[in-house]
Amino acid sequence: MPLLIICNLSLYRFAESVIPYLVDYGFDGLDLDWEFPAWGRFRSKPEQKHNFTLTLQALRETFDNYTEKRVLPKYLLTTAVASTIPLILGCYEIPEMSKYVDFINLMTYDIHGFGKTTPFTGHNSPMYSGQSLLDKTIFYYYNMVNIDFIYELWVEHGMKKSQIRVGIPTYAHTFHLLSEKSHGLYSLATGYNTTLGDEISRALICKLLNDTSFKQVWDKDCAVPYAYSGTTWISYENKQSVYMKVKWILENKYGGIMTYSLNVDDYVGQQCGEKWPMHRNIFNAAKKYSPIQ
C-alpha cells in the first residue's frame, strides 16, 4: 500500500481499478487492511498518516461517482484499524477518516500475546479493566487497553459510534507457563505453546476444554475466560463473554460486529457439538439483546 501512494493520480487509478472486481463478483464494497500507516517499516514516514486519508478519499469519491451515475446502491468502504493507543493516535486522522468510511472494523483482539517485552499471560480481547492491585500498578498500561477504553478513545477523537464495528476473535492465544504452580493472569511464560501454536482454532479450543485436565476460569472484572492445564495456558472467548460483548455493543449503539475470522470457527462442527458455534453465539446474542425485534 505505501508504494502505491506516490501521487494523487495513482490513487485514483487504483480506485478505478477496484470497481471491475466489485461489479464482476457482486461485492458490496471494499475493506482496506493496512497495518499500519506511518508505522513499522514506514514509521519514519509520518506523511503516510495523511496519505491513508487521501486513499480513503479517492476510493469514496470514485465509488460514489460510479454508483450515482448508474443509480446503483452505494458501495461500502470500510477499513480494519488498530486497537492500541500508540497506533490509534499515531496512524490515523480520525475526523477526516470519518468523512469517507462507512465503517471501521476495529481489531479489538491480539491486545495481549507473548512477546519479548510481554513475557507473561494476558487476555486476547478483554472487555473491561481488571481491578486487582497488579492491574492498577505494575500492569497498569496493559490493563488500560481493553474494548471499553479503546472504543471510547476512537469516539473521543472523532469517529462516530455508528461507524464503529467491534471485533470479536474466534481463535485463542496460547502461552507456555514458566511454572505449573503459577497459572493466573500475568503469570510468567516462556513463549507460546509450541505444540499447539500461538493461535488456535475454535475446534481445537473445544477439544482442549473437553479434556477434564483443563481448568476454566472466569475473570469477572475483564469479562473474559482463560483456561490452563499443566504448563499450557489459553486466552479465548466463551458464550458468556460473547453475550456480554454483544450486549455492550447494542446498548452503546455501536455500528455492528466484525469477527476474526470465519475460517477458524468450528465450521464443520467437529469438536464443539455444532457448526459455527462462535458465530451462532453472536447471532443469538444479537437476537436476544437487539432493541429492534
Judge contact between 124 and 172, C-beta under 8 A.
yes
Catalytic residues: 35
Name the residue with cell 443509480.
71
CA distance 293 to 130: 34
Amino acid at 75: Y
The CA-atom distances, in angstroms, between 251 and each of 161, 169, 185, 192, 278 are: 11, 20, 29, 36, 20
CA distance 211 to 5: 51
CA distance 1 to 165: 23
